[in-house]
């Protein structure tokens, strides 16, 4: 995340910021097992000496309470709900995610803008508009998409918390049959995620398998991503060497490359965090 990339316009005041941490997103539909995997990953990262933190939707200090209250009363229209979620997201981005990345944390994010885009699109919101609204999002170091089909999803949900009003899309499907709404809504959501997997270069993980198998995949991939964080404090000599070795194949930068079809506002400076010297300019 040293080189900060945005899908649209950078956040005010963050245009030239260096963020040595790693932003790792776990995406996927409701009940697929994201929070279980994040809990395991966080503990595993910490056990290996990495400072890790987690964040998820509707957890902002600013908007979480108001958003939950508005959802309880089902009082929001689609536009309002999207903008309210965007407010919650930017508050967490600015107050939790960016400060943690700046401090060098591995930030595990339970859902990101992709869930917001999927939810907006199944409700018929203009796809370009929602992408523009969320254009201030940092491009993550990796997005792991826990992919599942409706047949594998159903028993898990019934076995855990049952069908939820919002997770069944009852706000827009209007029907009385919660089961039917759930199947319809989740099928549509999964289609949206599948389409975004290409658009945003998701790392697709087969989540129809059991928890240890999914964890094994995530652990292996994340090990590679965080590998460059383990380098010992660099001396003046190795600093120069780092700079000379700099190439487009560098692991961290490679992954934060902009996805196709989107304008990535790249911060021109692509040096390693420790490599700033006057000679490196220009």
> Any contact of residue 77 with another protein (CB under 8 A)?
yes
Stretch that binds another protein, among 32-40, 48-56, 66-74, 245-253 (CB under 8 A): 66-74
CB of 19 to another protein, least distance (A): 17
Identify any residues that bridge with 146 across adjacent strands, giving them in sequence order.
205
Say which residue the tokens 């780092």 belong to: 242
Tokens of 3: 């080189």
Strand order in the sheet with 106-110: 52-56, 106-110, 22-27, 142-147, 203-206
> Any contact of residue 127 with another protein (CB under 8 A)?
no
> Any contact of residue 126 with another protein (CB under 8 A)?
yes
CA 104 to chain centre: 17
CA dist 82 and 116 (Å) reads 7
> Any contact of residue 263 with another protein (CB under 8 A)?
no
Among 23, 45, 57, 90, binds another protein (CB under 8 A): 90
Tokens of 253: 């930068």
> Any contact of residue 264 with another protein (CB under 8 A)?
no
Stretch that binds another protein, among 59-67, 110-118, 233-241, 250-258 (CB under 8 A): 59-67
CA dist 91 and 93 (Å) reads 5
CB 132 within 8 A of CB 82: no
CA dist 115 and 124 (Å) reads 14
CB of 94 to another protein, least distance (A): 5
CA dist 256 and 141 (Å) reads 5
DSSP 166-232: TTTTHHHH--S-HHHHHHHHHHHHHHHHHHHHHHTT-EEEETTS-HHHHHHHHHHHHHHHHGGG-PP
Tokens of 41: 């990953």
Stretch that binds another protein, among 29-37, 61-69, 216-224, 255-263 (CB under 8 A): 61-69
Q: Which is nearer to another protein, 35 or 87 (CB)?
A: 87
Stretch that binds another protein, among 5-13, 211-219, 226-234, 267-275 (CB under 8 A): 5-13
Q: In 3D, which of 42, 39, 140 has the Cα closest to residue 98?
A: 140
Stretch that binds another protein, among 80-88, 157-165, 175-183, 273-281 (CB under 8 A): 80-88
Among 16, 43, 46, 132, binds another protein (CB under 8 A): 132
> Any contact of residue 11 with another protein (CB under 8 A)?
yes
CB of 75 to another protein, least distance (A): 5
> Any contact of residue 70 with another protein (CB under 8 A)?
yes
Among 86, 107, 113, 183, binds another protein (CB under 8 A): 86
The CA-to-CA distance between both ends of the chain, in Å, stands at 21
> Any contact of residue 75 with another protein (CB under 8 A)?
yes
> Any contact of residue 215 with another protein (CB under 8 A)?
no
Among 17, 87, 238, 276, binds another protein (CB under 8 A): 87
Q: Which residues bind another protein (CB under 8 A)?
A: 8-9, 11-13, 61-63, 65-67, 69-70, 75-80, 82-84, 86-87, 90-91, 94-95, 126, 129, 132-133, 135-136
């Amino acid at each position: 995340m040293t080189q900060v990339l945005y899908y649209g316009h950078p956040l005010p005041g963050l245009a030239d910021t260096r963020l040595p941490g790693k932003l790792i997103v776990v995406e996927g539909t409701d009940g697929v097992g994201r929070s279980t995997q994040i809990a395991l990953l966080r503990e595993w990262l910490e056990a290996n000496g990495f400072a890790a933190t987690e964040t998820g939707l509707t957890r902002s200090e600013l908007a979480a309470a108001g958003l939950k209250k508005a959802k309880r009363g089902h009082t929001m229209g689609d536009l309002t709900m999207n903008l309210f979620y965007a407010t919650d997201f930017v508050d967490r981005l600015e107050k939790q995610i960016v400060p943690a990345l700046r401090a060098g944390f591995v930030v595990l994010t339970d859902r990101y803008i992709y869930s917001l885009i999927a939810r907006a699109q199944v409700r018929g919101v203009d796809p370009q508009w929602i992408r523009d609204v969320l254009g201030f999002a940092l491009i993550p170091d990796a997005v792991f998409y826990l992919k599942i089909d409706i047949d594998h999803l159903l028993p898990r949900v019934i076995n855990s918390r049952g069908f939820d009003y919002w997770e069944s899309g009852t706000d827009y499907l209007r029907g009385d049959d919660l089961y039917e709404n759930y199947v319809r809504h989740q099928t549509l959501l999964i289609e949206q995620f599948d389409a975004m997997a290409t658009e945003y270069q998701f790392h697709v993980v087969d989540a129809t398998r059991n928890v240890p198998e999914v964890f094994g995949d995530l652990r292996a991939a994340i090990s590679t991503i965080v590998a460059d964080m383990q380098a010992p404090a660099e001396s003046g000599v190795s600093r120069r060497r780092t700079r000379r070795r700099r190439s487009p194949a560098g692991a961290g930068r490679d992954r934060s490359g902009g996805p196709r079809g989107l304008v990535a506002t790249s911060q021109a400076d692509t040096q390693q965090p420790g490599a700033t010297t006057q000679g490196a300019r220009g």
